Amino acid sequence: MSPVQTNNLIDGKQTAEDIKAEIAIEVASLRVAGEKVPHLAAILVGHDGGSETYVRNKVLACERVGFQSTLLRYEDDISEADLLAKVNELNNDPEIDGFIVQLPLPAHINPEKVIEAIRPEKDVDGFHPMNIGRMVAGLPALLPATPSGIVELLSRWGIKTSGKHCVVIGRSNIVGTPVSILLAKNLDTANCTVTLCHSRTQNLAEICRTADIVVAAIGRPEFVTADMVRPGAVVIDVGTTRVADANKKSGYTLKGDVNFAEVAPLASAITPVPGGVGPMTIAMLLLNTLRAAKGEIYPKSGS
Ligand code: GUN
């Protein structure tokens, strides 16, 4: 628990619980109607500690809402061709409604090639170029989980976005780039003016200080400091870096991209790490799986 006590926390854990409870109700009614319950599969390659934790939490979350889940584990010497063959098996398995390949992958495997091999209608991570392209075009799509989780969090916490200046720090394909696109969309839950900052941005602190909403997704622990945040701004911290900590049983502490102790007293609202954006990613992944199972975005063949 953070030693800093504030009353401006955006409790992503609670919001994620609410979303999971809503999903569980839908799953229960599918079950009662004798219909197939959604089935999510996850491919995990290797033994990266962070990835193991994420995937374990995803599988546990599936059980909690009544989904079926399958975890497929491979050693980190699996060849790219073998991994692509596994992806293809899942693509063609009618039991599986959606699946993810946990990133990062070992250096000898091209992640873009793997992502492109996933059938868009089963791409519940929303990483496939078809889903990204449809998102950019404003067409129905399976949206990437962390960006849509951020938008959902802002919406459910009543944070006004229309016309606000949002500064996104970090341009990754998983978070920074897609969240900057979503937040700029003409939607009730978005409609921001967005500035996307990255490692080559000049005057980063100055730009951040003009933000009504800061989204920190740069993967550098405690990068955002008090001098970068305007008093009253909303701060969304996407970072989850493991930093060695001999005082912890696990041997590490999870650090966000925001120096919470400095920034929380200034912000009008802030997400903690852990317990902010992280649980929302999982909730949105489950929501995408439910959508995929129902054929909401891409109608199921035969329906
Ligand atoms: N690695 C870090 N975040 C994610 C995610 O949301 N999905 C996948 N597949 N890998 C990740």
Give the start-to-end residue ranges of the domains of the chain.
34-121, 145-280
Domain 145-280 fold is Rossmann fold (3.40.50)
Phi/psi for 245 (5° steps) reads -150, 105
Examine the residue annotation and report whether 93 is marked as an active-site residue of this protein.
no
Closest CA to 229 of 196, 185, 265: 265
**Residues 217/281, Cβ–Cβ less than 8 Å:** no
Instruction: Tell whether ligand 1 has an atom less than 6 A from the beta carbon of residue 173.
Output: no
20, 102, 123, 255: the catalytic one is 102
Q: Judge if 34-121 and 145-280 fold alike in CATH terms.
A: yes
Please tell me the distance between residue 90's alpha carbon and the centre of ligand 1 in angstroms. 18
The protein residue whose alpha carbon is closest to atom 1 in ligand 1 is 103
43, 102, 118, 172: residue to mutate for ligand 1 pocket, most atoms within 8 A of CB: 102
Examine the residue annotation and report whether 68 is marked as an active-site residue of this protein.
no
Predicted pLDDT of residue 3: 55
Tokens 């960006």 correspond to 147
Examine the residue annotation and report whether 5 is marked as an active-site residue of this protein.
no
Closest CA to 288 of 14, 62, 64, 44: 62
Predicted pLDDT of residue 302: 61
Residues in the chain: 303
Domain 34-121 fold is Rossmann fold (3.40.50)
Predicted pLDDT of residue 247: 94
Instruction: Tell whether ligand 1 has an atom less than 6 A from the beta carbon of residue 115.
Output: no
Instruction: Tell whether ligand 1 has an atom less than 6 A from the beta carbon of residue 237.
Output: no
| Regions of the chain with pLDDT less than 70 | 1-5, 302-303
